[in-house]
Amino acid sequence: MTIFQSILLGFLVVCAISVSFSRNLLNSILIYMSYSLIMSILWVCLESPDLAITEAAVGAGVTSILFFATLKKIQAIRIENEKTAETAQRNGKAETAHE
């Protein structure tokens, strides 16, 4: 049981780091969803179903969609080709639009 929980905790750490290091805001929202996904398993391991349900409902459901809506409102979502175009200009080499 401890092996399983330690793997999940390792997964949480990797999720948290990759959320902060992802350039695209949209990408961090989706990784945040997987973070709360794993958190709800840990709540189930600790035998507390109410916390697991709220974590599942809030984390994957409400918060992510609200983040998405705010991003939409402040027009901060750069769609794919704008992003690659910017990175191409920023580091100056002729990167192909889609690998």
Partner 1 sequence: MGVFEWLRLIAGCLFLLIGLVIFFTEIFGVFHFRYVLNRMHATAMGDTLGISSCMIGLMIFSGWNYTTLKLLLIVVFLWLASPVSSHVLARLEVATNENLGAHCTVYPELKTLEQELACAKPEEADLQQNGQADHAFSTGGETK
Partner 2 sequence: MLYHNLYITILVILAVMLFPCLIRAVRGPRIADRLVSVNMMGTMVMVMIAILALMLDEGYLVDICLIYAMISFLSVVVLSKVYIGIYEEKRHKAEHPEDETEGGKSDGSF
Phi-psi region of 75 (alpha: psi -120 to 50; beta: other; left: phi over 0): left
- What amino acid is encoded at 23 in this protein? R
98 binding partner 1? (CB under 8 A): yes
The vertex-61 CA angle with 80 and 63, nearest 5°, equals: 75
23 binding partner 2? (CB under 8 A): no
CB of 52 to partner 1, least distance (A): 15
Q: Which residues bind partner 2 (CB under 8 A)?
A: 1, 3-4, 7-8, 11, 14-15, 18, 22, 26-27, 30-31, 33-34, 37-38, 40-41, 44-45, 47, 49, 52-53, 56-57, 60-61, 64-65, 68-69, 72, 77, 79-80, 98-99
